[in-house]
Amino acid sequence: MRRPFNDEHLNRPLIARRLDLESAGLDDMPTGWWAVLTRANGEQIVRRRGMLNPDPVQQMFVRDMATALNRHLRHDGAWIVALTDPAPQLLVVDATAEYQSWLLLWLDEDGDPGFTIDNDEPFWRVLQQGPNHWLAQADAAWDQWHRYMRKVLAPGDGQTFKRAQGEAPPSTRH
């Protein structure tokens, strides 16, 4: 029997580093992100890089997607839903922005990022497609990742490591 996902994995520095990489601009500097991490009990934690909160519609979308993914498609891990790349603003009046991209990041049971699904469609189109569309996309992506990473490659003992927990990669020397 598998152990439940340890919520402490959500606090690991690797998460922020991965979101920085996902939101890096042309100069390899993060452009900003706003993410929702969901504990096993459903409590949501907001993490962000940058000053701007998303507009309320985007916040609702991210929170709702994080809830649905972690309730229905956890797959012994956890999903992080994040907005990236806030639109440039000439004047910041209310400290909110429309973010131009969003992503789903799945963490395996050890807290290691497994894969990312990213999207930069206009946000009205994302909303128009509806949550069931995005849940189906996430489930299909996990199925494909699981098939290749666990069944085709089928790593044995000593061939994987828990990067998020600070383990060193296995040696390639024999």
**E strands, 87-149, in order:** 96-97, 99-107, 113-119
The answer on pLDDT for 92 being more than 80 is no
Q: Is residue 52 part of a domain?
A: yes
The answer on pLDDT for 91 being more than 70 is no
Q: Is residue 65 part of a domain?
A: yes
Range of the domain at 93: 7-165
Cβ burial of 171 (10 Å; 0-12, 13-18, 19+) is: exposed
The amino acid present at 11, given as its one-letter code, is: N
Residue 72 pLDDT: 95
Q: What is the share, in percent, of the chain residues with pLDDT greater than 70?
A: 79
The answer on pLDDT for 161 being more than 60 is no
Q: Is residue 35 part of a domain?
A: yes
Residue 167 pLDDT: 61
Residue 97 pLDDT: 85
Residue 130 CA to its chain's centroid (Å):
19
Taking a C-beta distance cutoff of 8 angstroms, is the pair 68, 131 a contact? yes
Look at 155 and 119; give whichever has higher pLDDT: 119
Q: Is residue 2 part of a domain?
A: no
Enter the tokens of residue 105: 């990041």
Q: Is 130 left (phi over 0), alpha (psi -120 to 50) or beta?
A: left
Q: Is residue 174 part of a domain?
A: no
Q: Is residue 17 part of a domain?
A: yes
How many separate domains does the chain show? 1
Exposure class string for 79-88: b at 16+ Cβ within 10 A, else e? bbbbbbbbee
The answer on pLDDT for 155 being more than 70 is no
First CA to last CA distance, the chain: 33
Look at 4 and 114; give whichever has higher pLDDT: 114
Q: Is residue 48 part of a domain?
A: yes
Enter the tokens of residue 98: 């429309």
Residue 24 pLDDT: 85
Strand 78-86 to 33-38 pairing: antiparallel
Q: Is residue 95 part of a domain?
A: yes
The answer on pLDDT for 65 being more than 60 is yes
pLDDT in tens, 99-143: 999 999 999 998 989 999 999 999 999 999 999 999 999 999 999
Residue 1 pLDDT: 45
| Lowest-confidence segment of 60-69, 72-81, 88-97, 119-128 by average pLDDT | 88-97
